[in-house]
Amino acid sequence: MTHAPVRTAVDILATAREQVLEQGAGLTREQTLEVLRLGDDRLEELLALAHEVRMKWCGPEVEVEGIISLKTGGCPEDCHFCSQSGLFQSPVRAAWLDIPSLVEAAKQTAKTGATEFCIVAAVRGPDERLMAQVAAGVEAIRNEVDIQVACSLGMLNQDQVDRLAAMGVHRYNHNLETAKSHFPNVVTTHTWEERWDTLRMVRDAGMEVCCGGILGMGETLEQRAEFATQLAELEPDEVPLNFLNPRPGTPFGDLEVLPASEALKAVAAFRLALPRTILRFAGGREITLGDLGAEQGILGGINAVIVGNYLTTLGRPAESDIDLLANLKMPIKALNETL
Ligand code: SF4
């Protein structure tokens, strides 16, 4: 019986350098798994390679995005990580934001240099009331603020996709959350395939696709690699990477926070699987990586950040990330490049 030769860390990194950095071809599922399994002693080298890949295939600009919750809490779905589900004993109560506050938030976001402003609602999918609110909000923002509007309103039907596209919504966020094989352990009230269907309709309607997920929800390294390559197959314009911040009262409230080295390895591996995408640091960064995490990530493959709140938990203040980008001499992506 013959065995495939064991590939060393040097081989694994050399392959990634040749294939991803030189040729721009993302890692396969097996190759992503090899990278995720690298020892911590290779982390620095791995992050440096991911950074080179990002600089070569995306450039030095960093996209800054603001996010606002139009409807918070009381969601009928049971995503086990989410404190906005109405099915768990979590402290987030249902609340709606009014249109003037939405426009004000968009103005404040634009002042930071952000080019994207994402309107989020904690729902399975939008009902007529929410669609009307979104239409009014998008129109008011487009009239008063120089910023692209994105939405994240759950699963859509074709009519809703068409209406959002007609409103001028530039990008739609809908996360696949985790690998297809792990999804039933995370959500039972809808399927991964239902999410995929929404993403396909969004793409076909001409909106940009923003799709990522959460790491550290009990998935194996194999499933993390599976997820990275399932995202690559979707070819999203942007991938927000969250790390689980276990919220009290949710079914995942007692899970351990991902170790920092594992989280950073995942950032680099996702960059190597998705060399051209906008890879965004989203929620859970502070608890997983601490204060130094932003810098390590932005020098390890990340090229987009969120300013302001992460919906239900506070992120760092906008200024600290903006200052960091200035210190690292990384320009904020300008609006005219995205129009
Ligand atoms: S992740 Fe979204 S769909 Fe799931 S419970 Fe939270 S708000 Fe609802």
pLDDT number for residue 339: 43
Residue 293 has pLDDT above 60, yes or no: yes
Q: Residue 277: CA atoms inside 13 Å, Cβ hemisphere, count?
A: 31
Distance between CA atoms of 242 and 211, rounded to whole angstroms? 11
Please write the tens of the pLDDT for every residue from 37-53.
Answer: 999 999 999 999 999 99
Please write the tens of the pLDDT for every residue from 224-240.
Answer: 999 999 999 999 999 99
- Binding site for [2Fe-2S] cluster: what residues are annotated? 118, 210, 280
pLDDT number for residue 8: 94
Q: Which atom of ligand 1 sits closest to the CA of residue 121?
A: 7
pLDDT > 90 in the chain, percent: 70
Please write the tens of the pLDDT for every residue from 171-201.
Answer: 999 999 999 999 999 999 999 999 999 999 9
- For domain 43-328, the CATH superfamily is Aldolase class I (3.20.20.70)
Give whole-number Cα distances, 269 to 57, 262, 336, in Å. Answer: 15, 10, 30
pLDDT number for residue 327: 82
- The answer to whether the beta carbons of residues 102 and 137 sit under 8 Å apart is yes
Ligand 1 pocket check: which of 67, 70, 79, 244 to mutate, most ligand atoms within 8 Å of Cβ?
A: 79
pLDDT number for residue 309: 57
pLDDT number for residue 3: 66
pLDDT number for residue 306: 83
Domain ranges of the chain: 43-328
- The answer to whether the beta carbons of residues 26 and 274 sit under 8 Å apart is yes
Predicted confidence band at 336 (pLDDT cuts at 50, 70, 90)? Answer: low
Distance between CA atoms of 46 and 16, rounded to whole angstroms? 10
pLDDT number for residue 95: 78
pLDDT number for residue 314: 45
Ligand 1 and 154: CB distance under 6 A: yes
- Average pLDDT of the residues in 293-317: 72
Residue 335 has pLDDT above 80, yes or no: no
Adjacent-strand bridge partners of 242: 214
Ligand 1 and 84: CB distance under 6 A: yes
Please write the tens of the pLDDT for every residue from 139-174.
Answer: 999 999 999 999 999 999 999 999 999 999 999 999
Neighbours of 96 (CB within 10 A): 15
DSSP state of 92: P
Q: 198 CA distance to ligand 1 centroid (A)?
A: 15
Predicted confidence band at 338 (pLDDT cuts at 50, 70, 90)? Answer: very low
Q: Which atom of ligand 1 sits closest to the CA of residue 87?
A: 5
Dig out the tokens for 19 from the structure. 């294939």
Q: What pTM value is reported for the model?
A: 0.92
Predicted confidence band at 91 (pLDDT cuts at 50, 70, 90)? Answer: low
Closest Cα to atom 2 of ligand 1: 122
Residue 92 has pLDDT above 80, yes or no: no
Residues in contact with 282: Cβ distance below 8 Å, sequence separation at least 6, in sequence order: 212, 240, 241, 242, 306, 310
Q: Which residue has the higher pLDDT, 53 or 294?
A: 53
Ligand 1 and 176: CB distance under 6 A: no
Neighbours of 3 (CB within 10 A): 5
Ligand 1 pocket check: which of 72, 75, 188 to mutate, most ligand atoms within 8 Å of Cβ?
A: 75
pLDDT number for residue 298: 84
Residue 313 has pLDDT above 70, yes or no: no
DSSP state of 284: T
Ligand 1 and 50: CB distance under 6 A: no
- The answer to whether the beta carbons of residues 300 and 272 sit under 8 Å apart is no
Ligand 1 and 82: CB distance under 6 A: yes
Closest Cα to atom 4 of ligand 1: 79
Please state the φ and ψ torsions of residue 305, each to the nearest 5 degrees.
-135, 160
Nearest to 103 by CA among 148, 142, 132: 142
Give whole-number Cα distances, 31 to 14, 25, 38, 242, 300, in Å. Answer: 12, 12, 11, 22, 18
Bin 151: left if φ > 0, else alpha if -120 < ψ < 50, else beta: beta
pLDDT number for residue 310: 47
pLDDT number for residue 4: 64
Ligand 1 and 217: CB distance under 6 A: no
Cite the DSSP H helix spans in the chain.
Answer: 9-16, 29-36, 43-57, 99-111, 128-144, 158-167, 192-204, 221-234, 260-273, 285-289, 293-298, 318-327, 335-338
Please state the φ and ψ torsions of residue 336, each to the nearest 5 degrees.
-65, -20
Please write the tens of the pLDDT for every residue from 94-139.
Answer: 778 889 989 998 998 898 889 999 999 999 999 999 999 999 999 9
- Average pLDDT of the residues in 82-103: 84
- Binding site: what residues are annotated? 75, 79, 82, 118, 210, 280
- The answer to whether the beta carbons of residues 103 and 140 sit under 8 Å apart is yes
